[in-house]
Structure 1
Amino acid sequence: MTGAMSESRTPDERDMPDWERRFRAPRVSLPDWAEDAPDRSLFVSNATGTYELYAWDRATGEQRQATDRPNGTTDGVLSPDGAWIWWFDDKDGDEFGIWRRQPFTGGPDEPAVPGLAPSYPAGLALSRDGRTAVVGRSTDDDGTTIHLAREGAAPVEIYRHRESAGVGDLSHDGSLIAVEHTEHGDAMHAALRVLRPDGTTVAELDDTKGGTEELGLEVLGFAPVDGDTRLLIGHQRRGRWEPLVWDVATGEETDLALDLPGDVSAEWYPDGSALLIAHGFEARSELFRYDLAARELTRIPTPPGTVSGATARPDGSVEYLWSSAAEPPAVRSTAGGVVLDPPGMACPPSVPVEDVWVEGPGGRIHALIQKPAGATGPLPTVFDLHGGPTWHDSDSFAAGPAAWVDHGYAVIRINYRGSTGYGRAWTDALKHRVGLIELEDVAAVREWAITSGLADPARLVLTGASWGGYLTLLGLGTQPDAWALGIAVVPVADYVTAYHDEMEALKAMDRTLLGGTPEEVPDRFAASSPLTYVDQVKAPVYISAGVNDPRCPIRQIDNYVKRLESRGAVHEVYRYDAGHGSLVVDERIKQVALELDFARRHLGA
């Protein structure tokens, strides 16, 4: 697959509204660079109108489109030597497939690991020369398996368990393999195991044992130095995510104990002497350099907003992808300027967010507010609920909320209990009363929005995608008098059927959240399922769904829609040929246009 990144053919810009331009404007991800060939990079862009992978030779400036599929491609990895691009090939967005590879300089694609049947991906790590891979796989029949695959030899299974697991990293010399696993049955809190290539265990670290609360661990990466047995990990021992360095050979743990509020993550500088620290707090983020020998923390200047990815280069500079709610994303460098500027139309800015803190039943709730410039309330207001649920909204650029603002709406995004970034207790709070706890926080912010004069109580829209779509349908049924309209995108609608049809890793998460399977805890599944409350829904409902979605499968949505139909409830359904969302720009624009039109017809706003 070849072809340079170029401006896609688009409608006449003069007749295009700003909200559509924000979707069409070419964007690029933070470039991933090959550790042993740093001039070779891989990035994602929508320059052709579909998100695909691009190879970039920094030495020559040449850019080459590496993948070209109708539904797009975003899951790709460069081998450390820069010779190969590995990418995951599924069918129409169903996330079930195989890894393929192609030469960085171009050429035909080939199965990267012959002999491995299609599966859901569960992590990938490549050796320095790209000839050895550690491949994680997830299927309903086998749970999670991890294979060691050497070029020219059949893949060998080195790990298997019914519960979810994933490949963390492969050490610089290929002698150690870090695995995150949830063999204890709590999919929200992983333990760590380090294996040799033959599958035998070198070391274990499990913070879920011995305490009154289960704490999670995550792999951040082995030290990028040959023979170095230090593994950078994240832990939650003080109620938030923080990094520490674990020497898997000696067992020594170096706790950084950084005096920073909020969540902290890290990655290695290329020589292993320092860490690039990513600090997130109250919906914003910033960067630091931590010198391991001196134990000194130095702030790296970045503009106010959100850094959604960062990497330290061999010359000591740091490249990062930055945006704010008002300013579109850009890949910047501490060396100065924009690193990778896509061709084509410029992305129009939007309006900044305002922070609001509302007292809720479980503590202070952080909400981010956008509204048309100069507008005064009460306004038609969209409550846009994020997915996850272990995610959070931030002061970052988002074309969807900006489209609502352009059409005269205020937009409120809520970091309800279950969201990340506000401590482990906040994230873990929704166990067993799934959905209902989040909606208590939404109700508190809704009450604030009305009493403050911002929101018109007769024109409130509840919307969201994925978990946000689930909360939308659940909210319409459990709070039927609170909402004038509901727009649910790729939602969970019938929790029991969704459990039985979804990918195995999500089944494990649901068992953790609800305390068992639908057969073991039927009352909890019923209490948390939108289908239970469908007969109470009063507001018009719009649902969009991908027919190949493995996360929120189509059958359970059809079950919900049939119940709406049987009642004669006002509703519209849009099904499209993709998975959990679309990587095609035209399709995404079509979906937003349909949502805006549905709101216009039913609210007159």
Structure 2
Amino acid sequence: MTESNESPSPQRGEEMPDWEKRFRAPRVSLPDWAEDAPHRSLFVSNATGTYELYAWDRATGRQRQVTNRANGTTDGVLSPDGEWIWWFDDTDGDEFGIWRRQAFTLDASRTGSGADEPAAPGLEPSYPAGLALGRDGRTAVVGRSTDQDGSTIHLVRTGQDPVEIYRHPESAGVGDFSHDGLLIAVEHTEHGDAMHSALRVLRPDGSTVAELDDTRGGTVELGLEVLGFAPVDGDTRLLIGHQRRGRWEPLVWDVTSGEETDLELELPGDVAAEWYPDGSALLVVHGFEARSELFRYDLATRELLRVPTPPGTLSGATARPDGTVEYLWSSAAEPPVVRSTSGEVVLDPPGMRCPGSVPVEDVWVEGPDGRIHALVQRPAGSSGPLPTVFDIHGGPTWHDSDSFAAGPAAWVDHGYAVVRVNYRGSTGYGRAWTDALRHRVGLIELEDIAAVREWAVSSGLADPERIVLTGGSWGGYLTLLGLGVQPTAWTIGIAAVPVADYVTAYHDEMESLKALDRTLLGGTPEEVPERFEASSPLTYVDAVKAPVYISAGVNDPRCPIRQVENYVDRLAARDAVHEVYRYDAGHGSLVVEERLKQVRLELDFAARHLGTASGEVRGATTVA
């Protein structure tokens, strides 16, 4: 075993390679804006080398860094009146903590972090489970989750003790707070299915106004989600997402009358939406086959009009009071940028420009249960067979898309082809595809990955003697499971923040993930031990033949460190080739230099075990 602590880096005076520039180049999120003060915005940026929250006054152009923590901060909310910024304060990435707040003010004398105060005095530390802020500037609805209490929701008013308005052992969270502060939407899984939420609307005293449950007590696997109350005083319409036709679509539910207005949009993929600021129309986001597009839907005329955006992926979009739409766009080849339908770049961070990468190619492969969509990138001008990286996404309820990602681009710059697989369990291909992995968790996904691997080899893309299986979180889990279940298929494995020992992971992880695991596997490790055993990488660790690299955050609440150590101990007991890198953070890192160190270690591990060091190229184009 090798403990990885240091890694190669460019020598002083050496030109920085493009792959490093992609991580270091300043980035910004789509700015959130205050409903009643739309000139005030909040966004996330890595401008200092760590992802933190920033306040921005659009009227003056001035910006201020709001948070300044060693491990970064990304979870923040701007109050509707624009006066307060709430942000979640945990300990070194463990996701367990309290909400704090500070005034928005952009006083020129203030630099760095402003003066913070506990935003909800009286609430003990917890995992966050949603937050909605009232327009009066003094009311909030705070969702919490702990191992002891399950899920609780509290009404918090400035100067008063928090009042509990909801409690249940299963997972639940805050959906939204109505415009007039009289209604609170809650997503809950009281039926025990953590993958499919039901909805309840409460008054501020905790009494129930309305219920909507498409799970039929858990016998029908349909989910609902809160998209937001209408932004008009006295308007009791709630925009929600449903799966009644096998995919995510929006409908408008009047929670007082019970009337449901199904939009029935003729779009083939998943559809989400949010309100235009006057409540007369919806901004529709349509995702289909790893790409997305925007539409405006007029609720009176039921007319659907396309909002022009370039081909690629939208990571967020919002309609402004003046009718323009701002959106965060990227493609695999082009870095992200915040644009407006007015034609402007909304927020362009100063400093180093992010280099582009190569476009993504779409591949469809016949799998055990239908066609599998894979996205492929290869070095420009290259011909196979190439050393190939199967970069497996996390979630599992997520999907890879035609969007910019510095990690895959780094592999391409070093001469590798990169294949990303939207296996069963991924979103964006219908409810049945997402829900298919139940009970045979991990094994289902690996069947799809194996089918795409077979295509990659038979097509001449991949060198079968130099194939890397890698991923983070659920992708890290599938990496370790794949190395044991398919030991001859992979040359090396690189797993970041993985599930390695499923039983121990279940007992140590945050409560909301325990609920998800009970849903996926049909019970607890004590109730269905055979399923946990069949789906645990630890079960197959003695079959692993490939060299293994593992990185893990010592404060990770999602894939806790103890279960990783159990797996590493089993590798060490039989002198299996492996390296481990432990770092002081949670489920990944928000610090650019730390992330760069991890990528260097991964690239170096692959080069040493595949003999690909000479394939490294410093520019945007590479050769095999």
Output the TM-score relative to the length of structure 1.
Answer: 0.98
Residue of structure 2 equivalent to 1:3: none
2:96 corresponding residue in structure 1: 96
Of 431-440 and 14-23, more deviation after overlay is shown by: 14-23
SS at match of 1:564: helix
Partner of 1:152: 159
Q: Which amino acid aligns with 1:80?
A: P
SS in 1 for 2:565: helix
Q: Does 1:180 align with 2:187?
A: yes
Asked if residue 388 in structure 1 is aligned to residue 395 in structure 2, the reply is yes
1:422-461 aligned within 5 A: 422-461=429-468
Following TM superposition, by how much is the alpha carbon of 1:212 offset from its aligned partner in structure 2, in angstroms?
A: 5.4
Deviations 1:400-453 (A, max 9, x none): 000000000000000000000000000000000000000000000000000000
Match of 1:354 in 2: 361
Choose which of 400, 406, 413 in structure 2 pairs with 1:399: 406
Which residue of 1 is the match for residue 617 of structure 2? none
**Aligned AA for 1:91?**
T
Task: Confirm whether residue 478 of structure 1 aligns to residue 480 of structure 2.
Answer: no
CA contact (8 A) 1:190 1:216 kept: yes
Residues of 2 paired with 1:434 and 1:130: CA distance? 45
Matches within 5 A, 1:438-587: 438-587=445-594
SS at 1:456's partner residue?
A: strand
| Alignment pair present for 1:410 and 2:423 | no
Which aligned runs of 4 or more in structure 1 are off by greater than 4 angstroms?
Answer: 10-14
Q: Which amino acid aligns with 1:219?
A: V
Match of 2:53 in 1: 53
2:140 is the counterpart of 1:127: no
2:18 maps to which residue? 18
CA distance in 1, matches of 2:482, 2:120: 45
Partner of residue 87, structure 2: 87
Contact 1:90-1:98 within 8 A present in 2 as well:
yes
- The percentage of aligned residue pairs carrying the same residue is 86
Q: Is the 8 A contact 2:555 2:587 kept in 1?
A: yes
Contact in 2 for aligned 1:79/1:129 (Cα 8 Å): no
Once the two structures are TM-superposed, the CA of residue 214 in structure 1 deviates from its matched residue by: 1.5
Decide whether the 8 Å contact of 2:193 with 2:218 is kept in 1.
no
Could you say which residue in structure 1 is the equivalent of 2:276?
269
Deviation at 1:213, TM superposition (A): 2.7
| Secondary structure at the counterpart of residue 15 of structure 1 | coil
Counterparts of 1:229 and 1:424, CA distance in 2: 29
**Residues 494, 531 of structure 1: 8 Å contact kept:** yes
Cα displacement (A) at 1:14: 6.4
Corresponding letter in the other structure for 2:606: A
Please tell me whether residue 191 in structure 1 is matched to residue 198 in structure 2. Answer: yes
Distance change >3 Å, CA 23–CA 251, structure 1 → 2: same
Cα distance in 1 between the residues matched to 2:570 and 2:98: 37
* Structure showing greater relative contact order (alpha-carbon pairs closer than 8 Å, 6 or more residues apart): 2
1:292 aligns with 2:308: no
| Cα distance in 1 between the residues matched to 2:378 and 2:205 | 57
1:584-603 superposed matches below 5 A = 584-603=591-610
* Deviation of 1:15 (Å): 1.2
Q: How does 1:317-396 map to 2 (within 5 A)?
A: 317-396=324-403
Cα 1:233–1:140 shift into 2, 3 Å? same
Distance 1:212 1:135, change over 3 A: closer
Q: Residue type of the partner of 1:320?
A: Y
3-state SS in 1 of match to 2:48: coil
* Per-residue CA distance 1:146-173 (angstroms, 9 max, x = gap): 0001100000000000000000000000
Count of equivalent residues: 596
Q: Which AA in structure 2 matches 1:47?
A: A
Letter of the 2:583 partner, please give it.
Y
CA contact (8 A) 1:461 1:485 kept: yes
Cα distance change on mapping 1:13 and 1:259 into 2, 3 Å: farther
Contact preservation (8 Å) 2:378, 2:417? yes
1:39 positional shift:
0.1
- Distance in 1 (CA, whole Å) between partners of 2:221 and 2:597 is 44
SS at match of 2:408: helix
Deviation at 1:85, TM superposition (A): 0.2
The answer as to 2:66 corresponding to 1:66 is: yes
Contact 2:286 / 2:293 at 8 angstroms: preserved in 1?
A: yes
For residues 543 and 213 of structure 1, what CA distance do their matches in structure 2 show? 39
Q: Which 5+ residue runs of structure 2 have no aligned equivalent?
A: 1-9, 107-113, 613-624
Cα distance in 2 for residues equivalent to 1:311 and 1:401: 28
- What is the rounded CA distance, in whole Å, between the counterparts of 2:226 and 2:60 in structure 1? 34
* 1:507 counterpart SS class: helix
> What do the CA deviations read for 1:315-355 (whole angstroms, capped 9, x no partner)?
00000000000000000000112100001000000000000
| Gaps in structure 1 of 5+ consecutive residues | 1-9
CA contact (8 A) 2:191 2:218 kept: no
Instruction: Give the whole-Å Cα distance in 2 for the aligned partners of 1:344 and 1:243.
Output: 40
State the distance in 2 between where 1:178 and 1:24 align. Answer: 40
Specify the SS of the correspondent of 2:209. strand
Question: What is the TM-score when the length of structure 2 is the normalising length?
Answer: 0.95
Deviation digits for residues 11-64 of structure 1 (CA, Å, limit 9, x no counterpart): 989610000000000000000000000000000000000000000000000000
Distance change (3 Å), C-alpha of 1:404 and 1:142: same
**Is the 2:192–2:218 contact (alpha carbons within 8 Å) kept by the matching residues of 1?**
no
Match of 1:6 in 2: none
Whole-Å separation in 1 of the counterparts to 2:474 and 2:146: 22
Letter matched to residue 357 of structure 1: W
SS at match of 1:87: strand
- Quote how far apart the aligned CAs of 1:211 are: 8.6
Change (3 A) 1:146 1:284: same
